[in-house]
Structure 1
Amino acid sequence: MDSFSSFPMREELKQALADLGFETPTPIQQKVIPYLLSEPKDIIGLAQTGTGKTAAYGLPLLHHTDVNIKSVQCLVLSPTRELCMQIQTEMQKYGSQMRGLRIAAVYGGVPIMGQIRDVRANPQVIVATPGRLIDLLERKAISLESLQYVVLDEADEMLNMGFREDIELILKNTPAEKKTWLFSATMSNDVRNIAKRFMKEWQEFSVAAANVTNENIDHQYFVANHHNRFETLRRLLDFAPGIYGIIFTRTKQDCQEVSEKLMKMGYHVSPLHGDMDQKMRSKVMERFKSRQLQAIVATDVAARGIDVNDITHVINYELPDDPEVYTHRSGRTARAGKSGICMSIVSPKQIGNIRQIERLVKQKFHKTDIPDGAEVVRKRLFFYMEQIANAEPKDEFAKIYYDSMHDQFANVDKDELIRKLIWLQLKDTIDAYSDSEDLNAGFERKGGAAGNSGGSRFTRLFINLGEKDGLNSQRLLQFITESTDIEANMIDRITVRDMSSFFNVPTDAAEYIKEHLSNKKFKTRKVRLEEADQPRGGSGGEGRPYAKPGGGGRFTGERSYGSRPPSSSGGSYGGSKGRSRSRD
């Protein structure tokens, strides 16, 4: 089928896709969607991240959802909170025209009570990470008795992260007559075993991985706190004085606001978004192609018609929801055999999104420091000096104005003349950056590590290493500091247990530490690092609470979670031999 409009699905979905500008399905969507619309049986879909899997299962799920039934009909399991939130956002877009549709996302790292309220609002679709879903089931805050469809998204990744037992426990406690749709980048033995145990006779769909990125693109990312995003963009523009590029925003409102701010500050930019009529958009493109603009600020839909070969930079003011969109954005540069740079401004919490995109484009991204004021001035100084050195004045200009120029500067020393000329070019930049702050998020800041100030907040992290790995507090501290190059005094309240440990770090250092420790190996074990949830009724604890013995719940006797000591105020919890781990 050539377009989404040709699929036999409900009109509300077609309207939403048309509003989003979606026209042509990807290969996995072309194979899977028609089958699931007509015969919603068990399937396995094999496709790489970023090939459009969310729509491949999300559209059929919504097509079969009855909005008049106020219970959970569809469950999507995903390995990370970032992907979980992304799936919820995408499915809400697809179902925007379906009145009465509710989609809730549940994942670790945030207080559970807000998510309990969300699931008690009777959503038809739940998107969840395995650990947090089990927490909700153990608390009897959610029921899966009416479940009709289960999707395992990135199943191989969930299994690699150690969620096999969690997945099995969840699937055991879902209705036998449900349909299971498993999506994975690879068909490993672990994935096939899950399929054999919990799926009936299935249909398998597979698409080959595409070469989705240009090797001539330098992928860079800059980590800034969200409120410093615009200042970071300004600094990147100033640090690239010869830029000829596109700045991508996620929304039309951001597009307009960012471009207006930049124009007021003297930057030669213009917006390009869907609310502009065709005449205005054509005028902007004419100015851009003639180099009257150094950059355009554009939304993804509006940028589809841009066909320019000499673009030097693509800047993601914010990462797109769909990693595949990133490849379309970055592909605007490095055309016709040339090289280009794709810069992304991300918050510390979006490091996981960068890793997702890295897997898609099969290239390593370079974490780059946001330049300080001195670096910006120096970069622009060399740029202007190179411009002067390479300038070729027309002969007519010299003949007409030589005498006047000679008379004016006859008594001015050559070095003094150069200083004056450069000063005129750089004085605004020097004034702007005379007292500029460090915009880099994280703990690597001027004046010492973050976390030393009195107002610093801390995050508690879980690591899947413990006493059985030969660790004590000192050895764990040594492993962390040697693996991340951070100072030991930034790590506090280390708790080492049999098979897991916990420790506190400054909140703005947490993402950096997770990035540098995750997937490392300690002896033969692959390291997994996550944020630990705070238990109900206090702080400082960690892990998942045990189901109360003898409570009669569906999960009693299946497995125990957490390793908090018995509470003196009542309630029974497992002892020190229980499994301790953080929730997703």
Structure 2
Amino acid sequence: MTDFKSLGLSEVLLKAIESMGFVTPTAIQEQAIPALLEGDNDLVGLAQTGTGKTAAFGLPMLQLIDPAERFPQGLVLCPTRELCLQITGDLKAFSQFLGEVNIVAVYGGANISNQIRDLRRGAQIIVATPGRMLDIINRGATNLSNIRYLVLDEADEMLNMGFQEDINSILSNTPDTKNTWLFSATMPNEVKRISRSYMDDPVEITVGSKNTGNVNIEHEYYVVRAREKYAALKRIVDYNPEIFAIIFTRTKIEAQEIAEHLIRDGYNADALHGDLSQQQRDKVMKRYRDRSLQLLIATDVAARGIDVSDITHVINYSLPDDIENYTHRSGRTARAGKSGVSIAIINSRETGRIRQIEKVIGKKFEKGEIPSGYDVCEKQLFALIHKVHEVKVNEEQIGPYLNRIYKEFENLDKEELIRRFASLEFNRFLEYYLNAPDLNSADERPSKSRERDHTSGGGSFTRMFVNLGSVDDLTRGDLLRFICDNSGISGQQVGRIDLKGIHTFFEVESSEAETVYNGLKSGSFKGRNIRVDYAEGNKSGGGRPSKSSRHGAKPSWKSSSRGSQGGKGKRR
């Protein structure tokens, strides 16, 4: 079995690797590290995300640079802020015993003056996103004329994001004598052009086949009617109690709306898309990394470079326009040798695209069946029982309460206690999924047995105004929680939320409009008084409803089913 020592790495790097708990190199590391340590090779490495590419180029670069020289010797270009910070963190960990090695991250959304100051203190390695790196160059804040090693990481993603011209400009500021190391998950024509233009007879290393998917990922698809997509999504989530997933959508609007509806239905979810400020994006990603979020709803662009460990599922709520993007989506799970599941929820007209994706990734999809209500209830019940088996009992803390607990249960025998305990959580799912319809469909014909519409139960809606908006660092999800917390209504009684800069329009069931008005008008936000009013001349309880309510307009994905992860949501 190959170990890191046999790859030719120095003792100080081996010490760092050992301290980080790494024992066996991955396939890309095993092949790339010896080739790069020769010091005079261009290289193209093709491997899926999550296969250890950072160590594959980072360890050789750290061994080859001279820490005594205080100018940039290595440059790593990557597509996103998140990936930039991740690579920087990894390189710093690898170099912990090397002495004076300064690694500086350069990315948008942060103070450029601080980054320029860090560079002028002397950086041997720069890790950068293309746009900010070009800005630094144009300001004359760094000199790349002595760059010896240039890495293009996630090259296909950088090109998909439109960084071709920025990359060309940056490379024109580097010497022709440098070594260029290109790493990519796929090899589209644009990446081939870069390799031909900027590389000299590169060594090519391919882990797996070109453009194929990770072998540790299971691929499944579910065929449902278009209007029942959202219900199917919730059914799949409920069937996987320990799910930790990214749900991909095609548009920013779709991502935000699905996130809002999941929050309303009691799920632990939030959205990540291009309309968020960097501060809002960081807030969402921190919650997701801390696992205080269970479902992240994202667009392809927003999810670029996300590297979060232990993601169990990737769910394609909408298939990507570019089939190759499916490889990037599914690569967010099954990282570092772990397994994962990639799910596509489609209608019958999209089965042909599944066949196309199979050809690209070289793997077959399994056609799944949306679980029945009975299946979901059974899965949730035994997940609860499994938690009881696995829970760690803190004898010291619970000890003082045990006598009182025993006294409370003294009239219940073992069987009765088990039945009552299981029913405490299980009844919620049992009641909700009673007579739940079959969501599986091979065609688009209407079904007579449909779950009730997501927005049903409140009749007409009243449109309202509140003087809070995105300038207050609020997302639609934040505002939904604020409305519910201050008025006492449930999220299911709130309709569309139209978040503006300094104000927001939102809809509530007309029967609750006065309650919301009274609840918000006396409230405050960060010490500022809240101003709330009826929009478009609406009157409480029976005024003219908003345009969308008058015409009964609803997005086609809105579901019928009211569900909740883990049984915590409000159910009817």
With the shorter chain as reference, the TM-score category is 0.3 to 0.5
Could you tell me the TM-score, scaled by structure 1's length? 0.44
Could you tell me the TM-score, scaled by structure 2's length? 0.45
Bigger RCO (CA 8 Å, 6+ sep): 2
